[in-house]
Amino acid sequence: MTDTLTRTAPKRLSTLDKWLPLWIGFAMVAGLLLGRFVPALSDALSAMEVGGISIPIGLGLLVMMYPVLAKVRYDKVAAVTGDKKLLVSSLVLNWLVGPAVMFALAWIFLPDLPEYRTGLIIVGLARCIAMVVIWNDLACGDREATAVLVAINSVFQVVMFSVLGWFYLTVLPGWLGLDAQGLEISVWQIALNVLVFLGIPLVAGFASRFIGEKRKGRDWYEEKFLPRIGPWALYGLLFTIVLLFALQGEQVTSHPMDVARIALPLLVYFALMWFAGILLGKALGLGYARSTTLAFTAAGNNFELAIAVAIGTFGAASGQALAGVVGPLIEVPVLVGLVYVSLWAAKAWFHTDPYATESRTS
């Protein structure tokens, strides 16, 4: 939460923090209504794209991610890279378990709907490099670990996305005697996605801390500057949600039964991946902060990349694109809920105060 990100003991939550699920709910509804009843807005948003990336949504994500990445203590990142348990666990969950689980769920729940099934598999391949930063911070996870894991996932995303898309949509279905669909996506489009949604805010966050601490000192930077920019992370999140849902509002509200069919495997997927991450972290003795970071990086997905790939390959009106759009429709409220589950688990399972300084870097 905005004021919990710099405190060392629990304090009274701000109005923005206390009612965060309500604000997110309003943002989702507002976006859907705007997309449904103001189609010109959706058309305008669609027109403002460069390289498959929506400029307004990209700006919202940058505003959302910058304050969180500005809070990372980059001098402690080296300690995270030495945690082989964390790094290996994250790679296994993200690049072996996650895509396989989504592939299985897509075929179990949508055997008769190949377009939606393919869209879900694409969502499973797009590992999260954006919103996971804010979910982790809201749950008082380890910021430095998140920065490292997101950076590693970004590299793997550029290298492995096309390969895994070919494997899960063409090779594996062929081996199993199932229907196969190809996937064509350029490495440049994936690299551009990573550069915009991670590279820019990461560089800005690092520069802010380096310059701020050099000129004013760490105490001023963390006690004065960070609290001032902190709320903008949630403002950016709400702005992004409104625009994202407005962009596809008409499509979502026009196919309620299809949305329900797509939502069910997504619900199962997010729950399975999150609980797998936090339980694995606990079993490995990673501590609360890094276990919850492992959980959210495993459960989150890069919806922007998934939607861009689905639209670029199959068209904006395709079932694959609709499945990609339903991804954040389900992911946002589910992961917000899991933030509160995580804070509860800190005390119930890890016997620690999630707001204490020690729990952020354990």
Tell me which of 40 and 114 has the higher pLDDT.
Answer: 114
pLDDT of residue 186: 64
* pLDDT tens string 130-168: 778 888 988 999 988 988 898 888 778 877 888 888 889
pLDDT of residue 183: 61
* pLDDT tens string 74-86: 887 777 888 999 9
Mean pLDDT of 35-61: 77
> Which CA distances in Å does 29 have to 109, 241, 246, 252, 300?
26, 10, 9, 12, 21
* pLDDT tens string 16-42: 666 777 888 888 889 888 888 887 877
**Is residue 14 within 8 Å of 227, Cβ to Cβ?**
no
Tell me which of 284 and 54 has the higher pLDDT.
Answer: 284
Would you say residue 350 has pLDDT above 90? yes
d(CA 142, CA 334): 20
Q: Express as a percent the part of the chain with pLDDT over 90.
A: 31
Mean pLDDT of 273-299: 96
Domain boundaries, the chain: 24-360
Mean pLDDT of the chain: 82
pLDDT of residue 5: 38
pLDDT of residue 324: 83
pLDDT of residue 332: 82
If pLDDT is split at 50, 70 and 90, which confidence band does 320 have? confident
* pLDDT tens string 202-222: 889 899 999 999 999 999 998
End-to-end CA distance of the chain: 19
pTM assigned to the model: 0.77
If pLDDT is split at 50, 70 and 90, which confidence band does 54 have? confident
pLDDT of residue 2: 40
- 147-156, 289-298, 307-316, 338-347: least confidently modelled range: 307-316
pLDDT of residue 217: 94
Greatest mean pLDDT among 50-54, 55-59, 108-112, 356-360: 108-112
pLDDT of residue 187: 64
Burial class (CB in 10 A: 0-12, 13-18, 19+), 247: buried
Burial class (CB in 10 A: 0-12, 13-18, 19+), 117: buried
pLDDT of residue 359: 41
Token code pair at residue 277 = 């991450």
* pLDDT tens string 243-284: 877 876 777 777 788 889 999 999 999 999 999 999 999 999
Would you say residue 360 has pLDDT above 50? no
CATH ID of 24-360, from 3.10.20.340, 1.20.1530.20, 3.50.50.60, 2.120.10.90: 1.20.1530.20
If pLDDT is split at 50, 70 and 90, which confidence band does 184 have? low
